[in-house]
Amino acid sequence: MGTDNAKFALYEQFAQVGKVLGNPLRLMLLDLLAQAERSVEELAAASGGTVGNTSAQLKALRQVGMVAARRAGNRIYYRVAGQDVSALLTALTTVAGQHTADVDRAARAYLGDIEALEPIDAGELRHRLDTGQAVVIDVRPEIEYAAGHIPTARSLPLPELISRLGELPADTEIVAYCRGPYCVYAPQAVRLLTGHGLPARPLRGGLPEWRLARFPVVRTPKETPAA
């Protein structure tokens, strides 16, 4: 095989990953798996797809090595194959957001005007936490909080927020975060909180920005069954 042919064959392998990523449901599944390990059934429920279709998309992702799986009893649990997969997803959405006008329009239609909520950067949030000037809440589902969250963050999943407002201070700024810059949970939480008279802002970029700043992330230890 000539050099040109060998190079083409190499890039053809790279293209396989690009082809697999050219599917919105697969990107949604990767986004969910970047937060926490899940079963097919859990992924289908979270993404709004059927179990059969979700399973087919996971098979395609496994074929190019982007997700890994383990069996526990009758269920198979999936996870991203590595942090580099999560980084690739972040890079893809960042590039699309910076260079594709339709992304901005679609994001505003889905998320609303984020800048009007005065998002706070990761560095500023860490300073405020260190000096006791902010309370941070994680509004993702509990399974995602347990898999990794900002130290001192309180788990307040969005569906529970309205019933747990009494747990939050009225005199300290509240910072809400979720899965990333295109996650709707934190903006919705901030609008709900401010609508009830509580000072609140979203974390710009969500947990991914916190990780990119190399700030600590902690897991919730699993409880050991009593003997």
Task: Note if 183 is an active site residue.
Answer: no
Long-range contacts of 136-139 (CB under 8 A, 24+ apart): 136/174, 136/175, 136/176, 136/177, 136/203, 137/168, 137/174, 137/175, 137/176, 137/177, 137/189, 138/176, 138/177, 138/178, 138/207, 139/176, 139/177, 139/178, 139/185, 139/186, 139/188, 139/189
Parallel, antiparallel, or unpaired: how do β-strands 67-72 and 134-138 relate? unpaired
Among 137, 178, 183, 189, the one annotated catalytic: 178
Report the distance separating Cα 198 and Cα 209, nearest Å.
24
Element (H, E) at 173: strand 173-177
Chain CA centroid to CA 25, Å: 15
CB 193 within 8 A of CB 143: no
Catalytic residues: 178
